[in-house]
Amino acid sequence: MNYIQIMGVLKKAGLSTVLLFLLQAKTFSQVQPLPVPLRVENLICEYKTNPIAVDAANPRLSWKLITQDRGVQQTSYEIRVGSNAVSLTKGKDIIWGTGRIYSPQSIQIYYGGPMLGSRQKVYWQVRVWNNKNQVSPWSMVNFWKMGLLKKTDWTAQWIQDTYLSDTTGGPAPMFRKTFKLDRKIRAAHLYITAHGVFEAQINGKRVGDDYFAPGWTSYNKRLQYNVYDVTSSILKGLNAIGVTIGDGWYRGYTYNRKKNVYGKKLGLLCQLEVVYTNGQREIINSDKTWKVAYGPIRSSSFFDGEVYDARKQKPGWATGTYKDATWDTVKTDTTIKANLIATSGPTVKKHEKFSPLKVLTTPAGERVVDFGQNLVGWVQFKLQGKAGDTVRLYHAEVLDQKGNFYTKNLRTAKQEITYVFKSDSVETYEPHFTFQGFRFMKIVGYTGPLDSTNVAAYALYSDMAQTGSFSTSNKLVNQLQHNIQWGQKGNFIDVPTDCPQRDERMGWTGDAQAFCRTATFNMDVAGFFTKWLKDLSADQHKDGAVPYVIPNMLDSTLSAASGWSDVATIAPWNIYLAYNDKQVLQQQYNSMKAWVGYIQRHSRNYLWDTGNHFGDWLFYAGTNYEDGAALTDKNLIAQAFYAHSTQLLINAARILGHSDDVQTYTQLLYNIKKAFNSEYVTPNGRMISGTQTSYVLALNFDMLPENLRASAAKRLVSNIEDYDEHITTGFLGTPYICHVLSRFGRTDIAYDLLMKESYPSWLYPVKNGATTIWERWDGIKPDGSFEDPEMNSFNHYAYGAIGDWMYRVVAGINTDEDDPGFHKIIIAPHPGGKLTMAQAELETLYGKIKSAWTIDQGIFTLDITVPPNTTAQVILPSVTDPITENGLDINTVKEITDIKKVGNDEQFAVVSGSYHFVYTLRVPGKKN
C-alpha cells in the first residue's frame, strides 16, 4: 500500500491524524536527524485537542514549542489550514495560510480564514521560527470540526415518552429507532441533546465515554448538545440507535426537594448524520417514527440514587434485530424552542478506580466497605444473588465516633442504590444517572464475599487535565494538597458545586470565587469556567444582581450577596491571569459591569450597607456560632468586595481598551475606599471589626491609605497571636490571609497558620483522617463528635483556597499580571515552616514550569524550569553570595541577566530553560 492508500484505510477507521503523524515523523527522520532541535506540539483549538463541535466563528489556536535549548523565543510562526489532511502536508488546497507572521504569540491566536460552515472539518499545522535561526518542521496535523451553527441545521424533532405521571422519580424512558444503510459510509456523527441526562448506544455499543451529558447549563437559555464520531459503530445494512434518559438536573430533585426545575417532561433531540463515500449525507432524525419503552432503570436521581431492576432489562434493545412491537410510539413536541449550543467545557468522565481498603462490620452490625478516599462517583459491582433478590448500597463520607455508618449530614439525600437480580448467576452493575459523595459503602441484602474482584468505586468528574502538582517534606501538608485536589475533583461535576453529597450540590458562587484561583493551578479549568461564566451571564438578573447559585434554580430574590456575587468579576479575572484569555473578559464584561452597577444603585454615598449577606461564612465562632469574637461586620465585607469588583472591572476595561470606563470606575473606586475608611476605620487605622478577615480584606484589596497599612498588618499579626496562631477566617478571608501576611513580610506567620495542627487550622482535619477539604474547620470536633448535621459536608472546597498560596508563595510559581498566562513568570520561593523541601510543577499553555527547592544544612538549592517562549524573573530569598548555577557563578551565565540585590533577596531575569541554583542561606542576625 502506498501513503494515500494507507491514509484511505485509516481515515475510514478514524485514525488518519495519528497515522499521518507517524508517517510524517518517519519522513522527517529520513531527511533530518533526530532529535529535532525545535518542534511544535500540543496543538489545541479552543482549549481542546481535535474538537468536533466548535461553534466559535473564529476559534483560538495555541501550541507549545518543544526544545532542549535554553533561551528559546518564537520569533515568527506560520499556520496553514486546509480541508484535506494529505494535501495540507503538501502545502496544497490551503484555505487559510497565514504566511510567515513575525510574532512571538503562540497561544490564543484567532483563526482568520474564510467563514467556516456547519459540520466543516478543517486540518491545521503550524511551524515556527526562533531567535536561534532555527525553524521547526511542520507540526503534526490536527483538526477541528464545526458544530451545527444554524437553527435550520436541526431537522430532528424533540421526542418524548408517554408516561402518565410526568414528573421526577419516574422510570427512565428508552428511545429506539432502526434504520438501514445500503451503501458504504465515509463518516457518521451523532448530534444529541436531551431534557434530562442521556446515555446513547448504537448497535448495542455505548456512544462515547461521557456521563451526565449534555451537562448542566441554564437550560431554558442555553442547552448544550454533544457530538460523537460514531463512524466505527455503523454497519452496512440494519442499524439501531437507542437512547436512555434520566431526570438529571432537568427535572430531578434539587435544593429543598424542589423538582421539575426546568420542566416536567424528559425529551430527546438527536440526529445521526451519515456521509456516504460519494459525499452524500443522510440524516436519521429523532421524530415520530421512534419507539419508546421503560426498562430496568425504575428511577434515578442525583440526590437519591438509582433503582435498577435487572429483570426488566431488554437485551439487545439497541440493536437492529430487536423486536419492538410492544413498544409505544413517541410523542413529538414542535413547540420547544431550545437555544442549542455546542458543548464547550470538558465533559464528565470516569476517572480513578478504588478497590476496597477494608471490609468491616460496624459495632451496629452493618457491613461496610471503606474505599479509603472520600470521592464522588459510584460503586460498580459483580455480585451473585438469586433472581428477584434485592441488594442495597448506601453511601457515607464518614463513620461516627463509635465507628458506625453515618448519613445524617446528607440531610434528605438518600444516596441509595437498589438493585434487583434477574438471575442466580453473577451480575454486573454500575449506576447511570446518579452520583454519590462517599468513602464508605454499606451493603444490605448481600452476604457473600466482597473484595477487589467484585466491588470497586469510580470517581467521576469533569475531564480536566491535571496541570499542577505540589509537594513538600511535610507529609501533613502533602495530604492537605491531596485533599484540595480531591475537593476539586469531587465538586467539579460540569459546574463548580459547593458539595457533592447532601441535598444541595449547586453552583454556589461564593465557594467558586474563593477556590477559583487555586483550581487554575491544579487542573486545566479554562473551558470549565468559561462555560459556567456564560451561564452566570445568562442567569444574572436584569438589574445586575447575580444569583447565589449558577445555574440559578432558586427564587430570584436569592441574589446579590457580597463575596458570592463577586464571582462575576473574580472568576473571569482569574481565568484571564492563568490563560491570558482576553476573550473571557470580553465575554463577561457586560456582566461584570452590571454587577458593579447593581451595587452602585444600592449604595448611598458610595457605601453599600444594605442587602442580605452571608458574610465571612463559617468563620471560627468558638462555641457561640454567629456571635464569636471573629465575627466580621457584614457591611464592612460588602464594601471591601464592592471595591474589589470595581478594581477588577477597571483592570478588564484597561485590557479591553474601554478607556472611558477606566476613568469612570477609577473615580468610583476612590469614593468607595473613602467611604470605607470613614465608616469602618479610625483615623489611626483600627478597624471596627478587629478580626483577621477584616484586616485581611482591607489589606488585600488596598482599602487603607498607604500610611495605615503597615500598622494594620501588625494588628492582623497580633490578632493571630491572640488566637495562638490559629486561623479564624471563614470563606471570604481564608483565600487571602497568607498572601496578605507574605506581602507584609510575615511569611513566618503564614507558615505558622499552615503548620498548625490543632483546631481551627488546615491541618486539623488532616490529622483527623480527612481525605478531602471539610466544609467547616471542625466538621469533626476535637471531642470526636460531629458538627451540626444540617451543615456538615466533608467535601467542600472553599477552605482549600490555601492551595493558591502554596503554589504561588511556598513553591513560588506566579505569573506577572501585566504579562499573564505565565508568559512572564515570577519564580519566588519562600522557604519556612521547617520545610526542608517544596516543589511544584505547573503545565501552562506554554509548557511545564517547575520550581523545586531544598534546604540542607543551610544550603539552599533551587531547580527551575522555564518553558520555551517565556521568560522568568527569579527572586531568591536570604541570599549570601555567591549563587551558583550548575556550578558556575550566576554572574558568568549568559542566560541570567539584570542581577540585583533587594534587601536580603537577589533578583534576576532568566530566559527559558532549566536551571540549578545553589547558595548558602543567610543566618538571621548574623553578619553574612
**Contacts to ligand BGC by CB under 6 A:** 498-499, 504, 508, 510-511, 614, 617, 796
What 3-state class would DSSP assign to 666?
A: helix
- CB of 437 closer than 8 Å to CB of 361: no
Beta carbon of residue 626, minimum distance to ligand BGC (angstroms, whole number): 12
Concatenated DSSP letters of 230-266: -GGG--SEEEEEEEEEE-HHHHS-BGGGB--SS-S--
**The cell 503597615 sits on which residue?**
710
Cα 584 to Cα 526: distance, rounded to the nearest angstrom = 9
HEC-encoded secondary structure of 503-543 = CCCCCEHHHHHHHHHHHHHHECCHHHHHHHHHHHHHHCCCC
Task: Sort residue 481 into left (φ over 0), alpha (ψ -120 to 50) or beta.
Answer: alpha
User: What is the rounded end-to-end Cα distance, in angstroms, of the chain?
Assistant: 73
Q: Give the residue numbers marked as catalytic.
A: 504, 775
Output the smallest distance, CB 548 to ligand BGC, in A: 6
CA 841 to chain centre: 18
| Residue 239 or 565 with smaller CB distance to ligand BGC | 565
Sheet order of strands, 205-206 included: 205-206, 197-202, 237-246, 173-181, 291-294, 328-329
Q: Give me the residue whose beta carbon is nearest to ligand BGC.
A: 498
The DSSP annotation for 113-165 comes to SSPPPTT-EEEEEEEEEETTS-BPPPPPPEEEEB---SGGG----EEE---SS
Cβ of residue 796: shortest distance to ligand BGC, in angstroms? Answer: 6
Q: Kindly tell me the burial class for residue 68, based on how many C-beta atoms sit within 10 Å of its own C-beta (0-12, 13-18, 19 or more).
A: exposed
- Distance from CA of residue 923 to its chain's centroid? 42
Picking from 272, 121, 275, 271, the residue whose alpha carbon sits closest to that of residue 186 is 275
Q: What angle do CA 485, 486, 491 make, to 5 degrees?
A: 105
**Dist CA 652 CA 573 (whole Å):** 8
User: Closest approach of Cβ 732 to ligand BGC, in Å?
Assistant: 10
Query: In this complex, which beta carbon is closest to ligand BGC, that of residue 48 or of residue 796?
Result: 796
List of long-range contacts for 324-328, beta carbons under 8 Å, 24+ apart: 324/176, 324/291, 324/293, 326/293, 327/176, 327/291, 327/292, 327/293, 328/161, 328/162, 328/291, 328/292, 328/293
Closer residue to ligand BGC, CB minimum distance, 735 or 829: 735
Cell numbers 410510539 label which residue?
329
Minimal distance in Å, beta carbon 621 to ligand BGC?
A: 14
Q: Which residues pair with 405 in a beta bridge?
A: 399
If the CB atoms of residues 617 and 759 are measured against ligand BGC, the closer one turns out to be 617
Residue 508 or 701 having the CB closest to ligand BGC:
508
Alpha carbon distance 186, 202 (integer Å)? 17
User: At what angle are helices 692-700 and 706-722 packed, to 10 degrees?
Assistant: 150
Nearer to ligand BGC, 627 or 898 (CB): 627
Structural contact between residues 681 and 708, judged by C-beta atoms closer than 8 angstroms = yes
Q: Are 224 and 260 in contact (CB under 8 A)?
A: no
| Residue 897 to residue 495: CA distance in whole angstroms | 44
Phi, psi of 135 (to 5 degrees): -125, 140
Rounded to a whole number of angstroms, the minimum distance from the CB of residue 805 to ligand BGC is 21
Residue 24 φ/ψ, nearest 5 degrees: -65, -45
**Cα(317)–Cα(327) distance, rounded to whole angstroms?**
11
Q: Sign (positive/negative) of CA torsion 766, 772, 774, 779?
A: negative
Residue with cell 449506576: 431
Torsion sign over Cα 3, 8, 10, 15: positive
d(CA 673, CA 381): 59
Using CA atoms, how far residue 168 sits from 253, 267, 329, 505, 653, in Å, is 7, 13, 22, 17, 45
List phi, psi (to 5°) of 242: -135, 140
